[in-house]
Each structure stands twice: as C-alpha cells, then as structure tokens.
A = this chain, B = another copy of it.
Amino acid sequence: MADAPDLAPDFNAWSCPLPLRDHPFVVMGHGGGGALSAELVRHLFMPAYGGETLAGLGDSAAVSLGGARLAFSTDSYVVRPLFFPGGSIGDLAVNGTVNDLAMSGAAPAYLSCAFILEEGTEVSTVGRVARAIGEAAERAGVAVVTGDTKVVDSGHGDEVYVNTSGIGLIPEGVDIRPQRARPGDVVIVSGPIGLHGIAILSVREGLEFGVELESDTAPLAGLVQAMLAVTPDLHVLRDPTRGGLAAALNEIAAASGTGVVLEERAVPVPEPVANACAFLGLDPLYVANEGRLVAFVPERHAEPVLEAMRTHPNGPEAAVIGRCVSEHPGMVVARTGLGGTRIVDLPLGEQLPRIC
C-alpha cells in the first residue's frame, strides 16, 4: 500500500476513482472478465481513452468506415497449457475473435495475428500453434492477413502469447448489442456449458473426472448466420467465455437495465461438468465456455430461432434457459430446482485464471 499516494494525485487530476477497490497492484482477477475487469475498463481505460465508442462494450465494436458497417474486435490469449483436450491456444485465438465478431451479427472476414514469444521456446511449438491457427481459420472461413512477432527475454513470457484482432461485415438491418435486451425476450443458450473451463482445469491440475472432457472451442459465425436467416431482429448475442454464463447475463442485464430470470434446471450442464464442479466447489454458471452463445430473442421469434439452432451442427442441444423481465432491473435471479430463488452475481474475477 506504500505506493498508493503516488497513484492518487496522478489520477485525481482527471477524477478517476482509483485505486480500484484499494488494489494498488494488478491481481489475477483483473483479467478474469468479472467485476475487477469491469472496474478496470470503467474507471481506468474509459477515462483514459475518453471515447464514447468504447462505452458500448459488447464483445466487438460496431464502426462505420467507407460506407461499410464493420465489427472490430481484439483478444489476447495466454492460456496454459498451450495444447489441451479439444484444442489449443491457436484454436482459441481464431474462434474467440471470430465469435466476438459474430456476436454483433457480423460475418467475420479478416484476422490479424501477433505473437509474443519467450526466448528459448521451441520453434516447433510456435509452428504447431501457427498451424492450429491456419487450420482453425480455414474452418471458420476467415483469412489471416497481417501479423507481428516480438520476442521477450526468458522469464518474461510463457512460451507463446497470441493476440488476434478481427474485422467483419455487419449486414444491413442487424443491430445486436447488450443494450437491446427487453422484458419479454427469451434467453437461449446454444448448448451444454462448462466444458472449456473444466477441460483446462483437468489437464492443468492433473485431475481426472472419470470421463475425459474436451473443450467446446468452436467458431460460431455459421450458427449466428442460421439464426439471422430466421430473423434479423435478434436483440443480444454473447459468448459466455471468462466468467461464464453468469458474467455474460449480468453484463447484459446491466447494459440494458432489464432483469433476467434464469431457470436453473433448464441450463444444460453435462454430468461430468456437474460432478467436477460439485467436487471442486465451483458453480458451473461461472465456468468459461469457448464454443457457446447466449441469445436474447423477441418472444415471437424464439421458437423458430431455437429450431434453426437445433438443426445447426453447433447447436443441437440449444435450450431456452430463461426470460428477460422488468422486475429487478440490472439483476440476474436464478430459480433453483427446489423452487427457491437466488441472485446470480457478477463474479469478482475468474475462478480459474489463464483459461483463454
């Protein structure tokens, strides 16, 4: 805390309420996609960049350029281990950014790819990651068109960090963003949750849960296109990555000022994920996914959209899991299996750091 005095004058000058929660130092939770991340964005990055544009803060930004409506998104990937059941940092780097673009309804088109390599990393490891990126890009139908490589001294990295940014085209008449959730909207999830987080945990901590779980990492742009073919009037799409379904729903509730009621028994949780969570004291609602989306759909379109999702390879187990309501604005409430209710909070950080 000795450094706090240094901090205050620097920031008070532009009335930024720092230090955040009295943390003068960065903690793992600042990268967890929960409340600490949100504070960093709201109280540090947004005042610094001074932009209204960042304030939208969906998974990607919608911007206009040369008459085209574009989605633009960026993510860095620092997952450990680099290769895990069901995928690799390369798959995440492509699918994650492709999905962020798709969550604004865009057709992803081009990716950039920037590596930060640690001195002493095997070149073959970099090659395996690059090849995974190439293959994932081909599957997702996007092209890697520009890149960068930096090398840092041994002890200042962790073999391979990757950043991908992406741009895609938002079709005419599509306006998908967290602010558009409305009471009455039906909340749909595209499939079982928790697989990515538990798969990473199992290999990292050497835990075995009877069945080998695989990450759900997958590109979702095709699924979104199938949903948009039913109606362009989808209100919100979000991929529940860091912080899981709980973080995604809380962000939507907060951005739109509506309430969300979640039917806990309707949320598809695979048995091995449920067992692993019970064993470890985790809540599956907070576990990261990398190939799922949650959609807020006007009631009149919900049934045909659900049907379109279920006939798509990325959504056979899509399910209605809740409703958007005018009660408890900004808050997510789960109806438990026993008929009770509980508040589903925004997590503080991520239960499991370096998940993506």
**Chain A contact residues, CB within 8 Å of chain B:** 3, 6-7, 10-11, 14, 16, 18-20, 23-32, 37, 40-41, 44-45, 48-51, 53-54, 60-61, 63, 65-70, 72-78, 109-110, 112-124, 126-128, 130-131, 133-134, 137-138, 143-153, 155-158, 161, 163, 165, 167-169, 353-354
The answer to whether B112 and A72 touch across the interface, beta carbons within 8 angstroms, is yes
The answer to whether B149 and A37 touch across the interface, beta carbons within 8 angstroms, is yes
Q: Ordered nearest first, which 9 A-B pairs have the shortest CB separation?
A: A66-B68, A31-B151, A165-B165, A74-B112, A48-B130, A7-B124, A61-B145, A61-B146, A163-B163
Chain B residues, CB < 8 A from A124:
3, 6-7, 10-11, 18-19, 24
Residue in contact with A123 in the complex, picked from B19, B66, B112, B138, CB distance below 8 Å: B19
20 more A-B residue pairs beyond the given contacts A37-B149, A48-B130, with a C-beta to C-beta distance below 8 A = A7-B123, A7-B127, A11-B127, A14-B131, A24-B122, A25-B119, A26-B123, A28-B151, A40-B126, A48-B131, A48-B133, A48-B134, A49-B134, A50-B138, A65-B109, A66-B66, A66-B69, A74-B112, A76-B115, A114-B165
Chain B residues, CB < 8 A from A69:
66
Majority secondary structure, A binding face: mixed
In the complex, 19 of the A-B residue pairs with CB atoms within 8 angstroms, ordered by the A residue number, are: A7-B124, A18-B123, A18-B127, A24-B123, A26-B120, A26-B121, A28-B151, A31-B149, A31-B152, A37-B149, A41-B149, A51-B144, A63-B109, A65-B68, A74-B163, A78-B116, A114-B165, A150-B354, A152-B354
Question: If the complex has contacts A26-B126, A109-B63, A114-B163, are A149 and B40 also in contact, measured as CB distance less than 8 A?
Answer: yes
The answer to whether A44 and B123 touch across the interface, beta carbons within 8 angstroms, is yes
The answer to whether A25 and B123 touch across the interface, beta carbons within 8 angstroms, is yes
Question: If the complex has contacts A18-B123, A156-B158, are A112 and B165 also in contact, measured as CB distance less than 8 A?
Answer: yes
The answer to whether A26 and B61 touch across the interface, beta carbons within 8 angstroms, is no
Chain B residues, CB < 8 A from A32:
151
Question: If the complex has contacts A117-B30, A167-B72, are A143 and B51 also in contact, measured as CB distance less than 8 A?
Answer: yes
Chain B residues, CB < 8 A from A168:
65
The answer to whether A353 and B151 touch across the interface, beta carbons within 8 angstroms, is yes
Alpha-carbon separation in the docked complex, A157 to B66 (Å): 38
Alpha-carbon separation in the docked complex, A60 to B145 (Å): 9
Question: If the complex has contacts A122-B25, A130-B49, are A150 and B78 also in contact, measured as CB distance less than 8 A?
Answer: yes
Residue in contact with A54 in the complex, picked from B63, B120, B145, CB distance below 8 Å: B145
The answer to whether A122 and B68 touch across the interface, beta carbons within 8 angstroms, is no
Alpha-carbon separation in the docked complex, A74 to B144 (Å): 11
The answer to whether A110 and B26 touch across the interface, beta carbons within 8 angstroms, is no
Residue of B with least CB distance to A125: B26
The answer to whether A148 and B74 touch across the interface, beta carbons within 8 angstroms, is yes
Chain B residues, CB < 8 A from A122:
3, 6-7, 24-26
The answer to whether A48 and B127 touch across the interface, beta carbons within 8 angstroms, is yes
Question: Would you give the shortest CB distance from A233 to chain B, in whole angstroms?
Answer: 21
The answer to whether B50 and A134 touch across the interface, beta carbons within 8 angstroms, is yes
Residue in contact with A78 in the complex, picked from B24, B25, B109, B152, CB distance below 8 Å: B152
Chain B residues, CB < 8 A from A29:
151
Chain B residues, CB < 8 A from A161:
116, 152, 161
The answer to whether A76 and B26 touch across the interface, beta carbons within 8 angstroms, is no
